[in-house]
Structure 1
Amino acid sequence: MQTADGTAGPPRPALPRQWREQGGILDRLTAAVWIFDIDQGRVTCANAAALEAWSADSLAELQSRDLKTDMSPAVARRLRQYQGDFISHDAAFTEIWTLYPRGVPRPLEVRISGVLLEDGRMAMLCEARDEASLQPEALRSADALLHTKLMISLHDLNGRTLYCNPAARASFDGPQQDLPARFVHRRDHERMMQQIHSEAEAGLIAEVVCAAGRRWHELTARACHDPVSGRPSILVSETDVTELKEAEALAQSRAHHDPLTGLPNRLAMPARFASLVRKAEQRGAQIGVLFIDLDQFKAVNDTLGHLHGDGVLMEVARRLSELREEDDAVIRLGGDEFLFLATAGPEAPERVERLAQRLLERLALPVHGERRKLMVTPSVGIACFPQHGTNAELLMQRADLAMYEAKAGGRNQYRVFDETMRNRREEELELLADLREALRAGHILPYFQPRFAPGAQRIVAVEALARWIHPERGVIMPADFIPISEKCGLINQVGLTILEQAVRQRCAWERRGIDVSVSVNVSLRQLCEPDFAATVQRILETCGCAPARLELELTETLLLEENLVVARNLEKVRLLGIRIAIDDFGTGYSNLARLNEMAVDCIKIDRSLIQGLPRNEEIVRLVIAMCSFMQVSIVAEGIETPAMAEWAQRHGCHELQGYYFSRPVAAAAMENLLLGDAGRAGVALPQGWRPPSGRGRIAATQA
């Protein structure tokens, strides 16, 4: 078909046979009647009244209009819904529509039904009545219902669907879906109806069945009357909030899961525990709360890097998950701490301790770096529900206490909570509170123990050892408060206050004519502070102390550390002229290459080796030979008898230190000893040993 100007026109409409036969009669009707081809978006036929309603000059002109061009998506969806309803169950609808012929609005009340075209496709038969008398508000509300994305539906009290706007029709799982069938969970529908009966309206978020599957909708429902029948009805408006619910679920998941391992985190623990408790109570089972802390994990991060550390944590999470059974839970608390909630039924109450033993076996991980290998092991503390408590937080605290007992017992083992642990913990907390006050009030003081040179038979240096002078408990030894200091992060403060006081005391002695070196123990945590060397330099300069008169004692285990910060600090203090000593040498793994790299000045043989004489004489002689080969000063610690002193001197030890000469004493007593008044110092020197006399200067050079 061609238009007058020769261009191709719309395809010839396949008119229904009934229209061809009754077209003349239809033209006589005052009601506008037309057929709309939904697929093509064109009017295929129209009576005279319809041509007038569409402001069309002729049927051919109306047929040439492509009505899809200005059709809104909402109207297009609605027409597709109509077409499906005509095909499925020969539906018919009456609605208020507004046509826009030549841009002029024309409100009509339209009855629409399905009609088959000659080629078998389903089209739409429209019968319209002029609604120009309707109020503008009514017209606008009808148009808004057609275009809005808000799903509006009307139902009778039995839930039968009376009306759906296009958005609701698109959402409903079929045109006959009733209101109760809309809800995935029947309880949501019942809750909504109860609210409507009691308050005449209801609001809720529920999972609903839609044409697209299950979705989350926010529903608002209110009691009303059907405007057609006048019967009580329910008007429901719905908004799809699936994306919001999914975002909330994702945020909830992220908030309750560890991003590195994928395990539930500390926030998820109460809910997991409560769920396991409900099941355990039904079965008469117990729940073991296993608190797991990785030994030596900090060394992995410090020496091999955090990527290695993350790899270890992921591997631990994987192995723990492999051990988990159906009624168990594995949780990462943070850092290198994990929690294993293990259910042990009445038929196997020993399962918790068997599991703890398996954890020790499965979590012993060798970690390889480029130049070294470390072994990470677990320390495990156990508390059980209901024996040790019924509250999740309390059980965690008690399992944590048991874990610290496992660490204190040598690590790589497990301990089960008992009340003595709680008592010790309470004492520890009380001691910790006192320790903070002691640091503030200056109650942490250095005591000094002399080092004697057998060749000169006199004191050549003193070692500063921390003592806590408690106002009620008296003198507290380092073994009782240093571990607490390390655990609570106060060790750097303790170390710094002893270092400052020891250097200040050495300078005070020098002003009194006593020239003696002082050695001070330094912890790994102090050396890990980037400004440690600068702090030591500041103390020396403030007190006016010569760097050569200060010696820093490091433990032998520090030789295992390949920490860049530690290495830089040691290099800087060496450049200042400060001496470096290795304390407690001979009991651990000694890397001689590292000793040479560090260029240590002094090695102190551990007291356990000296006190093992003569049983382990060959070992001690070998240690002395190694030290002599490195050309360092050798100090024998733990000298308590004349035989020990005589053996150490005869086999080449340059200095001797131990109770045979003097216990650690306060600064005033040590000053008396340095000035030659052993009686006033409270020290009984061994026969044949000569203290310094008068107020002369005491040699500080090592023998």
Structure 2
Amino acid sequence: MTDVIDASAATSSEADGRDPASILDRLIAAIWIFDVDEGHVVWANAAALEVWNAASMAELASRDLKADMSPAVARRLRQYQGDFMSHDARFTEMWTLYPRGVPRPMEVRLCGVRLDDGRMGMLCEGRDQARLQPEAIRSADALLHTKLMISLHDLDGRTLYCNPAARASFESPHQDLPSRFLHRRDFERMMAQLHSEAELSMIAEVVSAAGQRWHELTVRSCHDPVSGRPSILVSETDVTELKEAEALAQNRAHHDPLTGLPNRLAMPARFKAMLSQAEQRAARIGVLFIDLDQFKAINDTLGHLHGDGVLMEVARRLSELRVGDDTVIRLGGDEFLFLATEGPGETGRINALAEQILDRLSLPVHAERRKLMVTPSIGIACFPIHGTNAQLLMQRADLAMYEAKAGGRNQYRLFDESMRNQREEELQLLSDLRDALRDGQIVPYYQPRYSATAQRTVAVEALARWIHPERGLIMPSDFIPIAEKSGLINQIGASMLEQVVRQRCAWERRGLDVSVSVNVSQRQLCEADFAAMVQRILHDNGCDPSRLELEVTETLLIEDNPVLSANLAKVRRLGIRIAIDDFGTGYSNLARLNEMSVDCIKIDRSLIQGLPRNEEIVRLVIAMCNFMQVTIVAEGIETLAEAEWAQRHGCHELQGYFYSRPVSAMEAECLMRGQAALPQGIRPGRLEPREWFVGH
């Protein structure tokens, strides 16, 4: 028996001398005391024994009521116990008891009572509600067990009721509705909308017993069923995990996984935030578009793992240059964006930042006994003078970056309108170029290679020319860079090879035995099916492989791409000759040159035209070529003196404007039939720029 009952017994005995237990047994109301911690009824009057369908108090006390107690009921009882201890709370609620598995709905008044050992128990007074409608009984039970947090508040926000789930979430039973919201503006917005709409849904941050959480709330205007006064019914669902998942997905969607920098998708929001600050300070925003020069060579030569390391180092160095609200973004590949603010008192900051980036990003990359340089090309567009929105500024910074590349790389350029006009011209040219490929407007022109000993043309080099229906002859320097940027270069290369092989066979049928050489690019050689394509073209046209020569640039000597090497080996096995073009202008890996077993080396025109100043260098190149037992071709012969010097010092073939400019197939045939080996001379005036070719 509890202290409460014992005290009652003593008081009652002093009053009238009768047994207090017998008095309680005479009450119609069922009264019992429940040990919340142990899950046992520790005392009950006769009415309670009847409610619980118990033969005796001992039998009822032996029942373990926690054995089949639902988690929701257990949580609710713990809430009661805490509220009893903290502020002597009292509750009246609808409960459904299950004595021996039979449901018994009751209205139960609950309050705290100290047990013999001082722990807090629960005094229960029950009134039978058997006459209630089933719907009412079930709704009360559902409110007890549901995880949906339901609370009722008056118009001032005072809490009138919480179901167990809401009570578990509220910091206290008396937490009012305004203090439920982390941000007061959310409560005010809710009340304003509720005034006009009577029902609303919203997601807000709330202050709960578990800390700050995200809840989805459904709020309705209603009336308090007890007082009849206007009230607010709130249903809440915890959506914190969903919001955190959304935030994580948003973060991943807007950040680059390799470098951790914001990505292209994050750019508009970052720019908008900077724009707001810049407008207040009358500052300008610089959009610096950064592209790494020669980065493809890192990936192709050293592998993507090494390339990723370079990108992470670039990201780190750029991030170290940030000041204040500056933002660094990785657009993709080897492209980065640096957004920087230049305030009224910081004139020249954006230009100075570009200089810093050039200095910090000139990366020597060491690997496998090699040293490769990675440098940045930077284009700059500024708000507000070059545009007022992020997309336009980025486009114009991109244009300026391409100007920096065209100007020699490792430098920066500021956007101006001439770049936009040039870009529009390029776009039109690109559109025309696609039509040109479809309509066969890109054709080979041929420049003879004159044998110093046989005194006749023994080979011709094929050079791409675009016969535009409106613009006329377009030189490679005007369309090859566009083809490379747009990815059309391989199509042009394949078309040129097909036409050249077909032309060579046509000449042979007409009695002209001449070799033809075609320039191929690194991109072509890195295509897995390149060698198979060459073999197919030779087979389809019945061409002798030994009469075809593929020219590659000297820069390919430093490449160690397995696909490229395999293609060169395959075409050599077919009997096709390999020539190194532009020799002497770059770094030559002599061991690699020997491994390739080339057949021909073409001395670059810059060395020939530098005679006699660099005579010793050219002699050294010729001696090396003789040692390797390869055919030596002197390019860029433009004067009789140059021709005589090259012939006298052992060059096997001579090529240049002194003999012929590149001409159409028909003109080349006429020259060959007329034995155009005699010098044609050079017309007065400035010579055409260096010939471009497919793959340059």
The match for 1:117 is 115
Change (3 A) 1:128 1:386: same
Write the distance in 2 (CA, Å) between the matches of 1:377 and 1:686: 43
Q: How much identity, in percent, do the aligned residues show? A: 78
| Equivalences for residues 55-70 of structure 1 within 5 A | 55-70=53-68
1:359 matches 2:357: yes
CA deviations over 1:493-548 (Å, ceiling 9, x no partner): 11111111111111111111100000111110110111111111111111111001
The match for 2:475 is 477
Write the distance in 1 (CA, Å) between the matches of 2:583 and 2:610: 14
Deviation at 1:685, TM superposition (A): 3.4
Deviation at 1:299, TM superposition (A): 1.1
Q: Which of 659, 675, 680 is the matching residue for 1:685?
A: 680
CA deviations over 1:439-460 (Å, ceiling 9, x no partner): 1111111111111112111111
Q: Which of 314, 317, 339 is the matching residue for 2:315?
A: 317
Write the distance in 2 (CA, Å) between the matches of 1:656 and 1:671: 18
Deviation at 1:599, TM superposition (A): 0.4
Q: Partner letter of residue 478 of structure 1?
A: P
The match for 2:6 is 17
Write the distance in 2 (CA, Å) between the matches of 1:228 and 1:115: 27
Mean Cα displacement is larger for which, 362-371 or 166-175? 362-371
Asked if 1 retains the 8 angstrom alpha-carbon contact of 2:631 and 2:652, the reply is yes
| Equivalences for residues 255-334 of structure 1 within 5 A | 255-334=253-332
The match for 2:688 is none
Deviation at 1:17, TM superposition (A): 2.9
Q: Partner letter of residue 64 of structure 2?
A: D
Asked if 1 retains the 8 angstrom alpha-carbon contact of 2:457 and 2:675, the reply is no
Q: Partner letter of residue 18 of structure 1?
A: A
| Equivalences for residues 219-258 of structure 1 within 5 A | 219-258=217-256
Write the distance in 1 (CA, Å) between the matches of 2:294 and 2:526: 15
CA deviations over 1:217-237 (Å, ceiling 9, x no partner): 111111111111111111111
Deviation at 1:350, TM superposition (A): 0.8
Asked if 1 retains the 8 angstrom alpha-carbon contact of 2:34 and 2:41, the reply is yes
1:584 matches 2:582: yes
Asked if 2 retains the 8 angstrom alpha-carbon contact of 1:549 and 1:578, the reply is yes
Deviation at 1:349, TM superposition (A): 2.3
Change (3 A) 1:75 1:613: same
CA deviations over 1:115-173 (Å, ceiling 9, x no partner): 11232211111111111110111000001101111111010110000000000000001
Secondary structure of the structure 2 residue equivalent to 1:274: helix
CA deviations over 1:208-254 (Å, ceiling 9, x no partner): 01100011111111111111111111111111111111111111111
Write the distance in 1 (CA, Å) between the matches of 2:332 and 2:659: 49
The match for 1:95 is 93
Write the distance in 2 (CA, Å) between the matches of 1:93 and 1:538: 92
Write the distance in 2 (CA, Å) between the matches of 1:541 and 1:98: 92
Q: Partner letter of residue 504 of structure 2?
A: R
Asked if 2 retains the 8 angstrom alpha-carbon contact of 1:492 and 1:525, the reply is yes
Mean Cα displacement is larger for which, 310-319 or 393-402? 310-319
Write the distance in 1 (CA, Å) between the matches of 2:561 and 2:344: 50
Secondary structure of the structure 2 residue equivalent to 1:639: coil
The match for 1:8 is none
Asked if 2 retains the 8 angstrom alpha-carbon contact of 1:17 and 1:118, the reply is no
| Equivalences for residues 32-71 of structure 1 within 5 A | 32-71=30-69
The match for 2:687 is none
Deviation at 1:615, TM superposition (A): 1.3
1:129 matches 2:118: no
Asked if 2 retains the 8 angstrom alpha-carbon contact of 1:156 and 1:232, the reply is yes
Secondary structure of the structure 2 residue equivalent to 1:411: coil
Mean Cα displacement is larger for which, 13-22 or 136-145? 13-22
Write the distance in 1 (CA, Å) between the matches of 2:45 and 2:496: 108
Write the distance in 2 (CA, Å) between the matches of 1:342 and 1:106: 72
Q: Partner letter of residue 432 of structure 1?
A: L
Write the distance in 1 (CA, Å) between the matches of 2:5 and 2:128: 25
Q: Which of 438, 441, 464 is the matching residue for 1:440?
A: 438
Write the distance in 2 (CA, Å) between the matches of 1:615 and 1:368: 35
Asked if 1 retains the 8 angstrom alpha-carbon contact of 2:633 and 2:654, the reply is yes
CA deviations over 1:73-100 (Å, ceiling 9, x no partner): 1111101111111111111111111111
The match for 2:15 is none
Q: Which of 597, 600, 605 is the matching residue for 2:598?
A: 600
Write the distance in 2 (CA, Å) between the matches of 1:663 and 1:323: 52
Write the distance in 1 (CA, Å) between the matches of 2:199 and 2:670: 93
Write the distance in 2 (CA, Å) between the matches of 1:249 and 1:513: 75
Q: Which of 541, 559, 562 is the matching residue for 2:560?
A: 562
Deviation at 1:19, TM superposition (A): 4.7
Change (3 A) 1:460 1:248: same
Deviation at 1:16, TM superposition (A): 4.8
Deviation at 1:18, TM superposition (A): 2.7
| Equivalences for residues 118-517 of structure 1 within 5 A | 118-517=116-515
Q: Partner letter of residue 275 of structure 2?
A: V
Write the distance in 1 (CA, Å) between the matches of 2:531 and 2:143: 77
Asked if 2 retains the 8 angstrom alpha-carbon contact of 1:16 and 1:116, the reply is no
Q: Partner letter of residue 513 of structure 2?
A: D
Deviation at 1:341, TM superposition (A): 0.4
Secondary structure of the structure 1 residue equivalent to 2:598: coil
Write the distance in 2 (CA, Å) between the matches of 1:272 and 1:17: 73
How many residue pairs end up in the alignment?
A: 673
CA deviations over 1:24-66 (Å, ceiling 9, x no partner): 3212211111111111111111111111111111111111111
CA deviations over 1:277-309 (Å, ceiling 9, x no partner): 000111111111000111111111111111111
The match for 1:695 is none
TM-score with structure 2 length normalisation? 0.95
Write the distance in 1 (CA, Å) between the matches of 2:360 and 2:40: 75
Secondary structure of the structure 1 residue equivalent to 2:354: helix
The match for 1:9 is none
Deviation at 1:193, TM superposition (A): 1.1
Write the distance in 1 (CA, Å) between the matches of 2:669 and 2:506: 10
Write the distance in 1 (CA, Å) between the matches of 2:357 and 2:373: 15
Deviation at 1:207, TM superposition (A): 0.7
Secondary structure of the structure 2 residue equivalent to 1:170: helix
The match for 2:689 is none
Asked if 2 retains the 8 angstrom alpha-carbon contact of 1:33 and 1:50, the reply is yes
Mean Cα displacement is larger for which, 366-375 or 380-389? 366-375
The match for 2:655 is 657
Deviation at 1:664, TM superposition (A): 0.7
Deviation at 1:326, TM superposition (A): 2.0
Write the distance in 2 (CA, Å) between the matches of 1:613 and 1:370: 37
- Structure 2 portions without partners, runs of 5+: 11-19, 683-696
Write the distance in 1 (CA, Å) between the matches of 2:9 and 2:153: 40
Q: Partner letter of residue 17 of structure 1?
A: D
Write the distance in 2 (CA, Å) between the matches of 1:473 and 1:454: 38
Write the distance in 2 (CA, Å) between the matches of 1:106 and 1:391: 70
Deviation at 1:416, TM superposition (A): 0.9
> Cα RMSD between the aligned structures?
1.4
- Structure 1 portions without partners, runs of 5+: 1-11, 688-703
The match for 1:667 is 665
